[in-house]
């Protein structure tokens, strides 16, 4: 018999977060869904489900995060699955992005994820159980012009997830970092990603097509977000979840291409890369 789980899902107003919340409720689970604004709107869309609590919370505001997590525990008594989904994209050449723009990107995609994880972990440690699912991206495997800065936040999420996994395994807590490819969410709509205010003409050849092309791709992505949500439910309900999970043929391809390029570089430079040990010294 399936055990009812309690989910804590960030960025649940739309896209992956929304679909995961809906799928979890349909599966008979309980859901705390966090949104930055208009919690009543999401609750209404999900038919004011009795096992749903929609909480207004900004992941970059640590005090708000702590209050939201305490509310989840007060309402449902525990958290079994944390889905760190909140984030946004930015199209820019790395040089073009200002310090403020870079920090804002990292505040949400990386430090926001850390805020939520730190707030939830004391309860998971007390339970000696739980599952943290961090949403990364195919851009967390390799670089695409214009998406390098955003991708770097997902490289950080990949690294943080690996670190969490080895630290939390002895405590009975699982970690999975999921890297979706392009899915037909709102991620590529103009109100879901930003562009840097500065544009440098020298990057027109590489970044320029991304500035004009992201919008054109919106609605034509290959992935079905409802099917993605079912993958997340399957991962959350297995006894031996993966640490790394690229989802989508494009994400698998990005991982494989990057792995092949790294292996090629290492092989070409192997004699040099392995020449740095101290010379053997024979004792006099």
**Token pair listed for 226:** 């409802």
C-beta of residue 45 within 8 angstroms of C-beta of residue 22: no
Instruction: Give 135's Cβ-side CA count (13 Å radius).
Output: 27
* Token duo for residue 148: 């390098």
150 is catalytic: yes
Residue with tokens 């006099």: 284
Catalytically annotated residue among 154, 161, 193, 255: 154
Residue 269: CB atoms within 10 Å: 11
Q: For tokens 């699982």, what's the residue?
A: 174
Beta-carbon contacts of 140 under 8 Å, excluding residues fewer than 6 positions away, are 151, 154, 155, 157, 158, 179
Catalytic residue among 123, 141, 150, 203: 150
70 is an active site residue: no
Per annotation, catalytic residue among 13, 136, 137, 161: 136
261 classed as catalytic:
no
Task: State the catalytic residues.
Answer: 136, 150, 154
């Amino acid at each position: 018999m399936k055990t009812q789980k309690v989910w804590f899902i960030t960025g649940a107003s739309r896209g992956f977060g929304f679909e995961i919340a809906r799928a979890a409720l349909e599966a008979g689970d309980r859901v705390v869904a966090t949104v930055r604004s208009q919690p009543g709107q999401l609750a209404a869309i999900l038919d004011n489900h009795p096992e749903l609590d929609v909480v207004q919370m900004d992941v970059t505001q640590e005090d708000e995060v702590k209050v939201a997590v305490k509310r989840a525990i007060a309402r449902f008594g525990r958290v079994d699955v944390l889905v760190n989904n909140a984030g946004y994209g930015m199209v820019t050449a790395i040089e073009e992005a200002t310090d403020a723009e870079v920090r804002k990107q990292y505040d949400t995609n990386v430090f926001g994820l850390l805020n939520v994880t730190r707030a939830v972990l004391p309860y998971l440690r007390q339970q000696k159980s739980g599952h943290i699912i961090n949403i990364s991206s195919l851009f967390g495997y390799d670089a695409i012009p214009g998406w390098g800065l955003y991708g770097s936040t997902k490289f950080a999420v990949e690294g943080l997830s690996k670190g969490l996994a080895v630290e939390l395994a002895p405590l009975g807590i699982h970690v999975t970092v999921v890297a979706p490819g392009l899915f037909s969410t709102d991620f590529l709509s103009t109100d879901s990603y930003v562009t840097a205010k500065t544009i440098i003409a020298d990057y027109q050849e590489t970044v320029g097509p991304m500035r004009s092309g992201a919008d054109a791709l919106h609605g034509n992505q290959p992935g079905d977000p409802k099917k993605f949500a079912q993958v997340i439910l399957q991962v959350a309900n297995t006894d031996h979840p993966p640490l790394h999970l690229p989802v989508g043929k494009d994400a698998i391809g990005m991982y494989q291409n990057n792995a092949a390029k790294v292996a090629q570089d290492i092989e070409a430079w192997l004699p040099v890369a392995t020449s740095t040990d101290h010379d053997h010294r024979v004792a006099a």
